[in-house]
Structure 1
């Protein structure tokens, strides 16, 4: 099976941000995506490619950027679309919000989107798909050839715990504190083609793998392979999908900058003849679990002898290493926003702090998440 790869000449950037529609009175998720998206398309014009689209449930809208050169450009693109959607949501008593899970809305109360693809998914996956009331941020970075895509996916897997810890924002599920920093990542792993990527040897093995999945009827295309990191042949990118939903534009920009800098550095290293390291899958799996459980307090393994370091310190060191790359890519400010997240805490930490102050009232958590979306910055 030949899979053509639309190579990207530069480390271009694209972001997908899954946004929740929240009823301002009840603080519950409420379905209105179809009517809002119809009005949005009318507003921008029928012939204009939309920057917002359906997700699995009617209470979710995915906001996407075009192909951007810089993180600042991607943030501006997202902000413009969010402004239009906010204007359409407010008259309906709805507000926009993002976190890996809604703190208390039940998945069994939510209406499926009209897209036939999602109805097919539910028919095949049943209860597993019905539970997918979860929200994430995906970052695409361009790579210059298919020969680089698999080595970059493999090497980027080392950083799965870093990204998951930074973005962890789903401590609550159905009104209960799960004890996890990221319950979303565990729910998502229920899908048979989700979770950690297979660490393949090259593009030919990826083609062989996809041919087997398609011919067996497991998937229709790469769109049905929901790995934490995957190559995206049509876009010519590597797509990072591990992150929980991020409540603020600042955090989205920080994650995007970290992703772009890492992939760009790997691109350059390959050009210089360097062989990117492929981590042991068992180590990645253990580190992912530790990040999902403990967030930025996780102690992750940094070698095959079991040496552990705090992921918070590993992230700070990584930012320092990548600053020269970030200056070249014009995203140094956004990359240093990663340090701001380390200072104020990830969203899961901030949510729990709000709940403690409110004697466990999760409506107060929703109010804070709504405020953070409006202010674009984490609230201390």
Structure 2
């Protein structure tokens, strides 16, 4: 099976932001996507170039075009979110983004009327029905399909960095799960989601995709939802590990980190280097630690079991990538990462709000709505 790859000329950038639609009276998720998308579409048919339906009618995904810088991607997102927010406000609906909604029960949510989503539910049943989860996906362009798998494999060492920074799903249907990112564990329930297989190269990727299709495990490669995956149509490596983020500044942080890492790996391949590939046990263990402990995790940094606080690993990485960030014009966004760590990731801020309100979670929803509103200015 041949899979064509639309190579990029440089490490371009694209971002997808899954927005929760919230009834401002009840603070519950509400199925308003059809009405909002119809309102902002050119012909009232619900088709918008940068705002899309998602599995649940209580979600709208906002996407950028092909961007060259993080600042461009943030501005692109802000313009579309402004359209969505205006139409939502007219229906008493607010926007927020977190890995999970703190209080809404997934069983109350309506599925979007779309053949692809209906097939997903039919195949996976409750595992798919429970996907009341929201994320941020970052696409980074690469210059050759033969670089895709080595870069995916090398990026696996940085999964805990991205997950700890973005973790925003401590609550599930009104209860504290004890995890920083419950979303990441829910998504793993799907048979083709979670950690990618560490393949040897593009040829093996093509053979594996062919096997999945021939065995009816999937209908197309779009149904392989790995935490990091090649996206052949876009010519990118796509990082899907991040929980939903409530502000543009936080999106800028993870986008800058992703773009700089991919650019570094792309250059290293050009210079004849063989990219490092972490052991599968280490990748799995570190993902769990980041999901459980977030920014308080200690991650395994080598095969002898040596540990390092993930906060230190992230700040060391920021310092290491700054020369690349300056060339990519995203140094300001990369340098904002230590300030985000000092402020606290979203899961930490959510728990602090709950503690200030005797454990009530409605104020957590209010705080996430406020962060979205206040964080949209550039």
Please indicate, yes or no, whether the TM-score normalized by the shorter chain is above 0.5. Answer: yes
Matched-pair contact (CA < 8 Å) for 2:42–2:48: no
What SS does the aligned partner of 1:269 have? Answer: helix
Following the alignment from structure 1 to structure 2, what is the Cα–Cα distance between the partners of residues 226 and 366? 28
Following the alignment from structure 1 to structure 2, what is the Cα–Cα distance between the partners of residues 377 and 316? 25
After the TM superposition, which parts of structure 1 deviate over 3 Å for at least 4 consecutive aligned residues? 45-49
Report Cα offsets for 1:17-39 as digits up to 9, x if no partner: 00000011110000010111112
The offset of 1:42, in angstroms, is 2.4
Following the alignment from structure 1 to structure 2, what is the Cα–Cα distance between the partners of residues 301 and 244? 21
Matched-pair contact (CA < 8 Å) for 1:251–1:377: no
Counterpart of 2:205 in structure 1 is: 206
Matched-pair contact (CA < 8 Å) for 1:54–1:115: no
Matched-pair contact (CA < 8 Å) for 2:37–2:48: no
Counterpart of 2:8 in structure 1 is: 8
Counterpart of 2:137 in structure 1 is: 138
| Residues 305-324 of structure 1: pairs in structure 2 closer than 5 A | 305-324=304-323
Counterpart of 2:161 in structure 1 is: 162
Residues 1:103 and 2:102 aligned together: yes
Matched-pair contact (CA < 8 Å) for 1:189–1:195: yes
Counterpart of 2:327 in structure 1 is: 328
The offset of 1:155, in angstroms, is 0.1
Matched-pair contact (CA < 8 Å) for 2:282–2:303: yes
Following the alignment from structure 2 to structure 1, what is the Cα–Cα distance between the partners of residues 47 and 204? 38
Matched-pair contact (CA < 8 Å) for 2:74–2:248: yes
Report Cα offsets for 1:55-92 as digits up to 9, x if no partner: 00000000000000000000000000000001100011
Following the alignment from structure 1 to structure 2, what is the Cα–Cα distance between the partners of residues 377 and 39? 21
Unaligned runs of 5+ residues in structure 2 are none
Matched-pair contact (CA < 8 Å) for 2:37–2:46: no
Report Cα offsets for 1:265-313 as digits up to 9, x if no partner: 1000100001101110110000000000000000000000000000011
Counterpart of 1:257 in structure 2 is: 256
Counterpart of 1:290 in structure 2 is: 289
What SS does the aligned partner of 2:240 have? Answer: strand
Residues 1:360 and 2:359 aligned together: yes
Counterpart of 2:122 in structure 1 is: 123
Aligned residues: 377
What SS does the aligned partner of 1:230 have? Answer: strand
Following the alignment from structure 2 to structure 1, what is the Cα–Cα distance between the partners of residues 150 and 198? 9
Counterpart of 2:81 in structure 1 is: 82
Matched-pair contact (CA < 8 Å) for 1:104–1:362: yes
The offset of 1:46, in angstroms, is 7.6
Counterpart of 1:28 in structure 2 is: 28
What SS does the aligned partner of 2:185 have? Answer: helix
What SS does the aligned partner of 1:305 have? Answer: coil
Matched-pair contact (CA < 8 Å) for 2:40–2:48: no
Residues 1:241 and 2:240 aligned together: yes
Query: What is the TM-score normalised by the length of structure 2?
Result: 0.98
Taking structure 1 as reference, are residues 287 and 377 closer, same or farther at Cα in structure 2, changes over 3 Å only?
Answer: farther
The offset of 1:49, in angstroms, is 5.7
Following the alignment from structure 2 to structure 1, what is the Cα–Cα distance between the partners of residues 341 and 141? 27
Following the alignment from structure 2 to structure 1, what is the Cα–Cα distance between the partners of residues 105 and 267? 46
The offset of 1:221, in angstroms, is 1.6
Following the alignment from structure 1 to structure 2, what is the Cα–Cα distance between the partners of residues 344 and 331? 20
Counterpart of 1:373 in structure 2 is: 372
What SS does the aligned partner of 2:241 have? Answer: strand
Matched-pair contact (CA < 8 Å) for 2:166–2:243: yes
Following the alignment from structure 2 to structure 1, what is the Cα–Cα distance between the partners of residues 98 and 90? 23
The offset of 1:48, in angstroms, is 8.4
Instruction: Supply the RMSD in Å over aligned alpha carbons.
Output: 1.4
Counterpart of 2:179 in structure 1 is: 180
The offset of 1:40, in angstroms, is 1.3
The offset of 1:114, in angstroms, is 1.2
Matched-pair contact (CA < 8 Å) for 1:180–1:293: yes
Counterpart of 1:71 in structure 2 is: 70
Following the alignment from structure 2 to structure 1, what is the Cα–Cα distance between the partners of residues 339 and 79? 24
Following the alignment from structure 1 to structure 2, what is the Cα–Cα distance between the partners of residues 205 and 58? 37
Deviates more, 1:59-68 or 1:336-345: 336-345
What SS does the aligned partner of 1:156 have? Answer: helix
Following the alignment from structure 1 to structure 2, what is the Cα–Cα distance between the partners of residues 47 and 190? 31
Query: What is the TM-score normalised by the length of structure 1?
Result: 0.97
Matched-pair contact (CA < 8 Å) for 1:56–1:112: yes
